[in-house]
Structure 1
Amino acid sequence: MAAASISRSAAFEDYSVYGNLSDDELLQIAIERSLSDTPNNYAIAAASTPSPQPDLPSQSSHNAPADHSSHNAPADHGSHNASAENPTAHYSSPNPPSQQPPDPKTFHGTVSRFMTGSGKSMVAYRRPDGSLVYIAPEPKEEEEPLFKAIRVGDVNTVKELTMRPGTNLMTPSKPGWLAIHQAAWYGQDTCLRVLLSAQRGMINKRSDLGETPLFVAVSNKQLRCVQVLLESAADVNIQNYDKETPLFRACEQNSATMVAVLLNHGALVNTSCTSLGCTALHEAACRNNVEICDMLLKAGAKLELTNIYGISALFNAAQSGQPATLRFLLTHGADINSRAADGATPLYEATKNRHQEVVELLLSHKADPNKPGKTGLLPLHIAAQTGNDTIVSMLVPVTSKAAVRWSGISPLHLAAERNRDEVLEDLIAAGFDVNAQLSEERSKLYEDRRSSVLYFSVSNNNVDAVRSLLAAGADPNRDMFRPLMVAARMGSMEMVELLVEHGADINAPVPTHPTTFPAVYMFSMKFLPMFKFLLDHGGHAQSCFSCVYGACTHPPIRTKHSDWDLGYSDGVPQQTGGVQFCEMISAPSICRWAGPIIDVLLDYVGHVTLCSRLLEHLDSFSDWSGIKDKAAPPRPLLQLCRVQVLQLVGRRRLKKLPLPVGLIRFLQHQERCVHDC
């Protein structure tokens, strides 16, 4: 047995030993070594043709993965002194590969096929335990003489073979085809006549896929063979195992000539084909072939037939965006407002697939734009959702506002949800209500129970859409969980400023999770500039220092999400009367900001008493001791005056007071002193 590893010089020596072997011999030995149980089989693979590449596709008759070689180990030889003229390969596996391939019919194991780097097809047989039985280049399958003669159109050989004793024309080839299928596929009409004259009984025989010779000829557009078979009384209506008829396949091939020939020989036009129940007219309609549709209708095709989903041929044409066929079917009486099983109309489907020309055509033929689909959405909703402003402009004038209200959702909601800004602008200009609310049923589909159009744009952080909606009069205070809170949670200062500027209520509560302080503070305390902005514009500060426990010991803080779970911050407990500020600021993600937060709040209040929990926070960090001193009474008179003026005058009227600019800025908390007065 060779050593576990050999040196580079030994690898080159090994290469010289096998230098006289052919490429095929080297390739086979290399792969045999790499697939054996012994590691370190590198030398031969490195010295011969390229090894199998792992990224090449593999095929296996047993669905086994490709068996690729290892390239990381040296070869394992019984001797390094073997004669170059008569090399002998020694295998470390106790069960070396066989010299003859096993019989695939009786072999129990896996058969793997793969390609080498040089493009050679290989086959490997392995036992169930993974050990190698046989590996070699895959043998090429020999084509049967009769089938080869048919393929190349050798009529004389075909005649000779069909007349030879012992020839059975009913014996299929490996794909399950008879000789007649071969002739039909390759368009050998003369060979086809020879075969039929020898044995007419095979004219309707089916392949492994249930395909008759006629079906095969139609599939490969072999018109002459189709005519020969039909003249010989081939059954024109036999379906394959996928339930397709030759006529359906001819429509699929978009061959008007083939369709005409089949119809002239009695092809049934209303047969349900495929597992979906489509007819030939369905197929012709989605191929936009007016000529075939015309032939089918003249042959008795019914416009009202639908597939298992309730889809008609007209619906198919609208769905696939085929205006010519659509116009043709409409002129022949197809129902323009036919509905599929899910309630969708052709107009609805054309809108969903953004077929502008088809939508325009349907509307010109009075298609009803106020028929909703199964979700209650109208075509206009779908156009807003997909963002096609051209289709939106076509649908807006003909869509009933009452139908929109009845749906429980405005197209503005869908445009905002998908960030379709151009469509949003068009709908606003068309007069759609920017304060439209989702119905209760639709609002319940969202965890946060959103209802306004503005909420969708804010949650998408779409500042441009928010600005457009607010400019058009959108009310920022319509939702249970306010858009301002969403903007604060995202840390969007620009959005917060926009909403506050347009009247967002800073002190609004969350009804389902009451707090004793403005709820928006929960989402802004970690963004001190935003927190101060909210206080500057009317946010209540005094309530943050109201505590029912005062100087007494507070109960332990619970942090279960079941107690407080808006999905946006760490959980804190909910007490009777609402969560207190000192409890909220004790949440793990916020408590490290406690000092600066309390410091900011003290600028907006007069005399306050810090509860024991707030004092604990301030005592936890030495640099915060000055903040505790700041809260100690008495507060500076200047601060008390500022608080009193703001309470009496109100923040909105400050700028109208006949006071110096510096004093106004002080009252607005833009300065810490009045030196500029």
Structure 2
Amino acid sequence: MPFLHGFRRIVLEYQPLVDELLGLLATPDTEGQSSLESPACLDSDRSQLSAVRRVLQREVHSPFYQEGVSYALLKVTELGLVPAAEILLEFGADLSFEDPVTYYTPLHMAVLRNQPDVVELLVRHGADINRRDRIHESSPLDLASEEPERLPCLRRLLRLGADVNAADKNGKTALLHALASSDSGQIHNTDSIRLLLEGGADVRAATKDGDTVFTYVIYLLGEMAYSYSQEEAEDIERFCFRVTQLLLAHGANPSECPASESLTHFCLKSFKDYFPLLRFLLESGAAYNCSLHGPSCWSGFHIAFEHLCWHLSRFDDETYSSDLIQKGQTLLELMMASSQTIQLPSNFEVNTSSCRFHGEKVQTLFCSLKQLERSPQALKHLCRVFIRQRLKPWPVDDKIKALPLPDRLKWYLLIDHAAAGHKDL
């Protein structure tokens, strides 16, 4: 049993040396107990460090000296005792020594305890900055990316040259670790994700199971309505929006295949719930069809009409229906205004007979869409597409409002029907 064997070696063989060294670095706390964790721990006190040197010189030829001094390095690393760690390294502490239980190296432990100065010391002395532990296959950078509190270590590791795109055997990179570790209320790794992206993290990274950078955003958004309070849901929505901004700014494609990993496809299926995020995606240049296979794979227009008809056939609330049709209309115009030529699936038809409300409006929207596909593009449409393209990147609203144009034309360019009904301009 390797764990028991390792434990026995600590207790019966080199633990006395470790205890003596750590005891020299500790000072009594208020209750007279020796404490390494207390603020009074004088790791830089010369007399303490001199005493540590004397013990190491005395024990240098003793049995299990190497294991003892190396395990002591693990302990002082956890506590951030830089001068003590320097002495232990001077006296032969092994940088690759693994904790007998966790199998973490001193560098892993320094990151877990958020000790950036110790991280730098260990790397400067030759610690493998990209080494993975034997249990979880986590690199120091992976561990640093998983908690916002470890941001100083993440920053230090990147500065020291850690491989930002190194992946474990499952293909998981530090960026995917940071995204996967983000949850409802405790961990929002926005700053860690930003640092990794600025450090060159590949937004196209994917695990062997097919998880991408958007998998975790989709998961959080999908769970938002079912698992969290209103306040938590709003926090998650803000987090997902900010992370999506960062990912798109660094070249991520939210409209890639498969549809299950496409953030655009996910938002289209429930556009009423995720309308601000969907609007951002489209105004940032995201394709409204599958970016790899086109509308034959999945089409934003088909999903939008399907969503409209499904909800309008099942809910008899007039206020809800009016809001839905308004957002649907805006969404269709956003997609139409994103390109000069409309791309629809072949033989695309819409059945509005089941709609309890606004069936005629849905049919009108569909007919105008088909007409736009079949006919030469109107000048106003071409102008809107051209101007909106020129005003990117997102957001374009303030830029449109600043244009020296009549309000009626600004309204047409804005594509915002929240305050007014649609009129053909």
The TM-score range, normalised by the shorter chain, is 0.5 to 0.7
SS at match of 1:595: coil
Amino acid paired to 1:452: V
1:437 — aligned with what?
A: 205
1:603 to 364, 370, 379: 364
Q: Report the CA distance between 1:495 and its aligned residue.
A: 1.0
Q: Distance in 1 between matches of 2:21 and 2:206?
A: 39
Q: Which runs of 5+ in 2 are unaligned?
A: 1-7, 27-48, 183-187, 222-235, 312-322, 337-343, 388-405
Amino-acid identity (%): 17
1:537 aligns with 2:334: yes
Structure 1 segments, 4+ long, off by >6 Å, are: 514-517, 520-525, 660-664
Q: Report the CA distance between 1:476 and its aligned residue.
A: 1.0
More relative contact order in 1 or in 2 (CA 8 Å, sep 6+)?
2
Q: Report the CA distance between 1:347 and its aligned residue.
A: 0.7
SS at match of 1:545: coil
CA 296–479 in structure 1, closer or farther in 2 if over 3 Å, else same: farther
Instruction: Check conservation: 1:371, 1:378, Cα contact below 8 A.
Output: yes
TM-score, with structure 1 as normaliser: 0.39
1:386 aligns with 2:147: yes
1:483 to 234, 247, 263: 263
Amino acid paired to 1:282: V
Q: Distance in 2 between matches of 1:344 and 1:390?
A: 20
1:255 — aligned with what?
A: none
1:335 — aligned with what?
A: 94
**Aligned residue pair count:** 310
1:464 — aligned with what?
A: 242
1:350 aligns with 2:139: no
SS at match of 2:67: coil
1:428 aligns with 2:197: yes
Q: Report the CA distance between 1:392 and its aligned residue.
A: 1.9
Q: Distance in 2 between matches of 1:522 and 1:297?
A: 78
Q: Distance in 2 between matches of 1:279 and 1:420?
A: 38
Q: Which runs of 5+ in 1 are unaligned?
A: 1-269, 444-449, 547-580, 586-593, 607-638
Q: Distance in 2 between matches of 1:320 and 1:279?
A: 18
Q: Distance in 1 between matches of 2:216 and 2:88?
A: 44
Q: Distance in 1 between matches of 2:91 and 2:335?
A: 69
Q: Report the CA distance between 1:360 and its aligned residue.
A: 1.9
Q: Report the CA distance between 1:400 and its aligned residue.
A: 2.8
Residues 624-665 of structure 1, C-alpha deviations (whole Å, 9 max, x = no match): xxxxxxxxxxxxxxx5xx74235445697352699x967994
Q: Distance in 2 between matches of 1:518 and 1:321?
A: 58
Q: Distance in 2 between matches of 1:466 and 1:323?
A: 39
Amino acid paired to 1:465: V
Q: Report the CA distance between 1:379 and its aligned residue.
A: 0.8
Instruction: Check conservation: 2:107, 2:140, Cα contact below 8 A.
Output: yes
Q: Report the CA distance between 1:351 and its aligned residue.
A: 0.6
1:399 aligns with 2:162: yes
TM-score, with structure 2 as normaliser: 0.59
- 1 or 2, which has the higher helix percentage? 2
CA 650–356 in structure 1, closer or farther in 2 if over 3 Å, else same: farther
CA 332–430 in structure 1, closer or farther in 2 if over 3 Å, else same: same
Higher alpha-carbon Rg: 1
1:499 — aligned with what?
A: 281
1:326 aligns with 2:85: yes
CA 662–296 in structure 1, closer or farther in 2 if over 3 Å, else same: closer
Instruction: Check conservation: 2:164, 2:200, Cα contact below 8 A.
Output: no
CA 467–281 in structure 1, closer or farther in 2 if over 3 Å, else same: same
Residues 596-646 of structure 1, C-alpha deviations (whole Å, 9 max, x = no match): 36444212223xxxxxxxxxxxxxxxxxxxxxxxxxxxxxxxx5xx74235
1:413 — aligned with what?
A: 176
For the aligned residues, what is the CA RMSD? 4.3
SS at match of 2:366: coil
1:452 — aligned with what?
A: 213
SS at match of 1:605: helix
Q: Report the CA distance between 1:293 and its aligned residue.
A: 7.3
Q: Distance in 2 between matches of 1:663 and 1:603?
A: 24
Amino acid paired to 2:174: P
1:371 to 114, 124, 131: 131
Q: Distance in 1 between matches of 2:247 and 2:10?
A: 52
